């Protein structure tokens, strides 16, 4: 896998797709929910990563 | 007199059991059996992609059934949720994983989440077979 970011994006896209299909019924709702879930995964991971950066490993 | 199909139709339990079992054996197969072709193919693609990427990232696929390590048992149960691909990958020699690999933990996450998502897909197939969902 080329990078952590690509791994995060792949994971978020695949999981969001499954959630959108299972939790919404129409195509329009699925696209909106999938996009929201994807953005939430990526943004929250980046924010948590940034916030925890000062802590020692 | 109007009838609600879902409420009045006789429950075909064999159809429900078949949908549930097929959904576990191979991701998306339960939905394919229930004639939800589009949904089935997307679910199959997404979940298998998660699992295959996880195996490619050197995930461990060892089977833990004892209670001496409850977390390992839960991890195995999560991975087994994906059904045949898990056992196929083990049979093909991907059981041990590569613990020294940089992507080992990512791989474990991908394979376990793939299995857990397939459990949600199984429940969705059961709901459709029972008439609770379209």
CA–CA separation, B72 vs B27, rounded Å?
23
Does residue A45 surpass a pLDDT of 70?
yes
Residue of B nearest to A13 (CA): B46
Residue of B nearest to A3 (CA): B103
**Nearest CB partner across the interface for B134, out of A11, A22, A25:** A25
CA–CA separation, A22 vs B125, rounded Å?
10
Q: What residues of chain A lie within 8 A of the CB of B109, using their CB?
A: 11
Cross-chain Cβ contact A14/B120 below 8 Å? no
- pLDDT (tens digit per residue) in B46-105: 999 999 999 999 998 988 888 888 999 999 999 999 999 999 999 999 888 888 888 899
Does residue B11 surpass a pLDDT of 80?
no
What is the pLDDT, as a whole number, of residue A57?
A: 67
What is the pLDDT, as a whole number, of residue B54?
A: 95
Q: What residues of chain A lie within 8 A of the CB of B42, using their CB?
A: 17, 21
CA–CA separation, A57 vs B13, rounded Å?
53
The interface predicted TM-score of the complex, written ipTM, equals: 0.87
């Amino acid at each position: 896998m080329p990078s952590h970011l690509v791994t995060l994006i792949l994971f978020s896209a695949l999981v969001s797709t499954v959630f959108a299909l299972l939790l919404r019924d129409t195509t329009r709702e699925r696209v909106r929910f999938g996009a929201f879930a994807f953005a939430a995964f990526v943004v929250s991971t980046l924010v948590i990563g940034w916030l925890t950066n000062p802590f020692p490993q | 007199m109007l009838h609600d199909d879902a409420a009045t139709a006789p429950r075909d339990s064999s159809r429900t059991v078949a949908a549930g079992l097929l959904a576990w054996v191979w991701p998306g197969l339960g939905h394919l059996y229930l004639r939800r072709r589009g949904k089935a193919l997307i679910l199959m693609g997404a979940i298998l992609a998660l699992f295959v990427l996880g195996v490619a990232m050197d995930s461990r696929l060892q089977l833990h059934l004892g209670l001496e390590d409850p977390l390992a048992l839960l991890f195995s149960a999560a991975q087994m949720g994906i059904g045949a691909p898990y056992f196929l990958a083990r049979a093909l020699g991907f059981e041990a994983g590569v613990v020294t690999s940089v992507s080992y933990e990512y791989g474990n996450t991908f394979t376990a989440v793939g299995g857990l998502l397939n459990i949600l897909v199984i429940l969705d197939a059961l709901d459709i077979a029972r008439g609770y969902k379209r």
